[in-house]
Amino acid sequence: MRAWQFNEVNEPFTLVEREDPKPGADEIVIDVKASGLCHSDVSFVDGTLTPLLGHKPIILGHETAGVISAVGPDVSEFAVGDRVGIPAVTEGPGTAVDGGFAEKVVVKANLVVRVPEEVDFSQAAPAMDAARTAYRALVTFGHVEAGQKVGVIGFGGLGSLGAQIARELGATVYVAEVNEKVWDAVNELGVGGVSKDIRDFADKGLDVIIDFAGFGTTTASAVDAIKHGGRIVQIGLAREEATISMQQVTLKEITIVGASNGEKSEAEEVLKLMAGGNIASKIVPITFEQIPEYVDKLAKGEVAGRAVAIL
């Protein structure tokens, strides 16, 4: 099989050929159909997150979906031909062991999830990280339910998925996004409103606000905008610190919680929602050969969407 190997910080990827992987007793081999590129891959390459890697050289790629081509003798829950994805975890492929920037990947069977027939591999791959993370913010920590009013701050890759998930759950969505160029895309979702500042919707009685931006000022705005007894979920990390009104937090009895990247069960749940056809990442399809080029483009901010290698 062919694979793109990461060797050392700030060094170019190397195209290598390896023997096709064989599954261990509790492992499966997946023929990769789609492999998503993530900003974490940029951080692995530039040294920011390199200490998290299990070893070097390594094959990166932690947003992977494909078809099982071999199973180990102790694996009973999956079979050859099953459509699966690998939720991103630090102990999984692309971080601890070789990942999905390859034609095949071997993984422990207990780490993978089934991909419904209705979900294309190009959508399933980034869902293993981005959509799962947005789902965790909205459902696990946001407790969003039908009939609620939900504020979404930031309409990037995660925020756009968050808005779609909230709408799919039956909530009315209000979006704060400073980039007016994406407002048309926001309005196409059928939202309750879009503005540059979530405080413009303070009179709507927002039950939950998800801050996908995390600029500090956005968190402070959420505190101002949320209704009495409301909930704010912090997921964006653009700034390490935020200055907020503790008077407002106390007098309005606000709950503020943080959310990270999610668990296997949340990947399964978001795939079920995606099977309905109303939740999708903005995909930039690329070829296997273009993976190094697009990791570089991602580092330069030149990718408008989720770059996904289609194999």
**What letter represents residue 278's amino acid?**
N
Q: How far apart are CA 287 and CA 294, in angstroms?
A: 10
Q: Give the HSE-up count for residue 221: Cα atoms under 13 Å, Cβ half-sphere.
A: 24
| Percent of the chain residues past pLDDT 70, beyond the cut | 100
- Give the DSSP H/E element, type plus range, for residue 293: helix 291-299
Q: Where are the beta strands (DSSP E) in the chain?
A: 2-6, 14-17, 27-36, 58-59, 63-71, 83-86, 104-108, 113-114, 149-153, 172-176, 193-195, 206-211, 226-234, 255-258, 283-286, 306-310
**For position 153, what pLDDT does the model report?**
97
**For position 291, what pLDDT does the model report?**
98
The answer to whether the bond into 57 is cis (omega within 30° of 0) is yes
Q: What is the mean pLDDT of residues 87-107?
A: 96
Q: What is the mean pLDDT of residues 16-31?
A: 97
pLDDT at 261 over 90: no
**For position 301, what pLDDT does the model report?**
87
Q: What is the mean pLDDT of residues 219-245?
A: 94
Torsion of CA 175, 179, 184, 186, to 10 degrees: -20
Q: How far apart are CA 176 and CA 169, in angstroms?
A: 19
Q: How far apart are CA 166 and CA 143, in angstroms?
A: 10
Q: How far apart are CA 290 and CA 37, in angstroms?
A: 11
pTM: 0.91
- How would DSSP label each residue in 53-95? SSSSSEE---EEEEEEEEE-TT--S--TT-EEEE---TTSBTT
Instruction: Return mean pLDDT, the chain.
Output: 95
- Residue 262: pLDDT band with limits 50, 70, 90: confident
Q: What is the mean pLDDT of residues 44-72?
A: 95
Q: Are strands 283-286 and 193-195 parallel, antiparallel or unpaired?
A: unpaired
Q: Which of 143, 50, 130, 81 is nearest to 305 (CA)?
A: 130
**For position 173, what pLDDT does the model report?**
98
